[in-house]
């Protein structure tokens, strides 16, 4: 009997192992087909009960497109936090930079009208430049100190945009932003969500492919070495300065890409779109999805966004209909960050590696737990020798 037809090979575990091995060998193919299958399935699933009772397909598709923006943000923050171990609490600032870059380059406010497609690259580059500007002064900082600096940067950018009303229209924001177009076809503002959905699908596929390439490259291994032990990485010849700067730059560029898309889709941007709660939400997506795992972060971002945009709204409607006095007075959307906090605390206690951890990250955490148990929890923890 051949190995391929053996019981072990045809068991569920054997099938999963072969699928995992194929995915590891053919990253780009697995991303293309995985994201493509999900993108084809979602519009069909929402036609089935109970989803079709919540909203029409167009509303769902629009929601999936916005969810894609948060997937891009989570993928970018995963480079900084998950792969490199650098805590960034001001990630929404790069999101704002990308959005305002496109707003200033494609609106009546400035009289400039640059096409959406090159602006995707320009917005990503602008955000990357600001990522380097943030990373350069913080190279010696780690942990809480780095978090405080990035938090400050995340507040400085929206406040600066708010106060530079001569260039940004201040709290009113910039409107009338040019919609994307292909030839003579201009993307519709309402009624047809498919063009934006398909563009977002392409951006996610390309971003995931590139990030997988980075993860498997020498730079990706350097990020992981810095995350595990920066001193040991430097002692082994890794240029930690360049490594961390590239993490900030590439993570920021993904946020800039998402910002350009957001501005093009909404055709207006205001400073309120880029508050600290956006940074916190994206960080929650990365942590809950599984830091360091690209697929896990993408799935985690999608799940959390759908809970936020669909489940909590439906809870409000449900309790209003059943007429429970206490629960019908609660607006669950107002408590979303409380729920995020509870979920994060619970995750750190019960499953610190996240819902879909990378195998490497899972081994790291459980190795640390075993070492702590041997040192502190086991009275016989000393070596038997």
Average pLDDT of 111-132?
95
In the chain, the largest separation of any two C-alpha atoms, in whole Å, equals 79
Q: What is the per-residue pLDDT for 252?
A: 97
Cis before 50? omega within 30: yes
Does 129 score more than 80 pLDDT?
A: yes
Question: What backbone phi and psi angles, to 5 degrees, belong to 289?
Answer: -70, -35
pLDDT tens for 285-317 read: 998 888 889 999 999 999 888 888 777 877 777
Q: What is the per-residue pLDDT for 337?
A: 79
Average pLDDT of 151-155?
93
* Tokens read off for 193: 């969500």
Does 372 score more than 60 pLDDT?
A: no
Does the pTM exceed 0.85?
Answer: yes
Distance, CA of 238 to CA of 356 (rounded, Å)? 29
Average pLDDT of 233-240?
92
Specify the higher pLDDT residue, 358 or 65. Answer: 65
* Sign of the alpha-carbon dihedral angle for 254, 258, 264, 267: negative
- The winner for highest mean pLDDT among 26-40, 168-182, 367-381 is 168-182
Confidence grade of residue 378 (pLDDT, cut at 50, 70, 90): very low
Q: What is the per-residue pLDDT for 380?
A: 39
Distance, CA of 33 to CA of 144 (rounded, Å)? 40
Q: What is the per-residue pLDDT for 360?
A: 66
Q: What is the per-residue pLDDT for 71?
A: 97
- Around 361, how many Cα atoms within 13 Å sit in the side-chain half-sphere? 25
Confidence grade of residue 15 (pLDDT, cut at 50, 70, 90): low
Q: How far apart are the first and last CA of the chain?
A: 47
Distance, CA of 176 to CA of 266 (rounded, Å)? 9
Confidence grade of residue 384 (pLDDT, cut at 50, 70, 90): very low
Q: What is the per-residue pLDDT for 109?
A: 84
Confidence grade of residue 369 (pLDDT, cut at 50, 70, 90): low
The answer to which of 28-42, 170-184, 337-351 has the lowest mean pLDDT is: 337-351
Confidence grade of residue 354 (pLDDT, cut at 50, 70, 90): confident
99 and 120 in contact (C-beta within 8 Å)? no
Does 373 score more than 80 pLDDT?
A: no
Average pLDDT of 197-223?
95
Distance, CA of 123 to CA of 98 (rounded, Å)? 5
Does 365 score more than 80 pLDDT?
A: no
pLDDT tens for 71-111 read: 999 999 999 999 999 999 999 999 999 999 999 999 888 88
Does 275 score more than 80 pLDDT?
A: yes
Confidence grade of residue 363 (pLDDT, cut at 50, 70, 90): low
pLDDT tens for 48-71 read: 888 887 778 888 999 999 999 999
Specify the higher pLDDT residue, 216 or 371. Answer: 216
Does 255 score more than 90 pLDDT?
A: yes
């Amino acid at each position: 009997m051949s190995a391929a037809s053996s019981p072990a090979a045809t068991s569920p575990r054997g099938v999963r192992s072969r699928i995992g091995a194929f995915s590891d060998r053919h990253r780009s193919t697995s991303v293309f087909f995985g994201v493509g299958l999900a993108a084809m399935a979602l519009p069909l699933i929402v036609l089935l009960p109970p989803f079709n009772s919540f909203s029409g397909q167009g509303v769902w598709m629009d929601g999936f497109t916005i969810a894609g923006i948060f997937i891009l943000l989570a993928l970018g923050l995963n480079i900084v936090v998950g792969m490199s171990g650098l805590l960034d609490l001001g990630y929404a600032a790069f999101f704002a930079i990308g959005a305002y870059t496109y707003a200033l380059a494609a609106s009546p406010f400035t009289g400039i009208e640059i096409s959406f497609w090159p602006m995707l690259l320009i917005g990503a580059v602008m955000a990357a430049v600001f990522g380097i500007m943030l990373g350069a002064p913080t190279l010696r900082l780690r942990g809480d100190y780095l978090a405080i600096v990035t938090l400050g940067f995340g507040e400085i950018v929206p406040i600066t945009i708010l106060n530079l009303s001569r260039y940004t229209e201040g709290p009113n924001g910039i409107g009338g932003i040019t919609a994307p177009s292909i030839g003579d076809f201009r993307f519709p503002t309402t009624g047809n969500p498919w063009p934006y959905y398909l563009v977002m699908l392409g951006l996610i596929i390309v971003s995931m492919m590139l990030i997988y390439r980075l993860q498997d490259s020498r730079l990706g291994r350097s990020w992981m070495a810095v995350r595990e032990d920066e001193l040991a990485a430097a002692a082994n010849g890794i240029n930690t300065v360049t490594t961390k700067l590239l993490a900030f730059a590439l993570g920021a560029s993904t946020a800039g890409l998402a910002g350009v898309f957001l501005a093009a889709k909404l055709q207006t941007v205001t400073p309120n779109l880029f508050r600290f709660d956006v940074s916190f939400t994206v960080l929650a997506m990365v942590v809950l999805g599984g830091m360091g795992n690209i697929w896990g972060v993408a799935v985690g971002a999608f799940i959390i966004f759908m809970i936020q945009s669909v489940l909590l709204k439906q809870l409000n409607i449900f309790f209003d209909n059943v007429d429970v006095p206490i629960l019908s007075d609660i607006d669950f959307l107002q408590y979303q960050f409380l729920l995020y906090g509870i979920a994060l605390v619970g995750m750190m206690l019960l499953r610190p590696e996240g819902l879909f951890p990378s195998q490497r990250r899972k081994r790291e955490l459980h190795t640390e737990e075993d070492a702590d148990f041997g040192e502190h929890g086991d009275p016989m923890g000393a070596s038997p020798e």
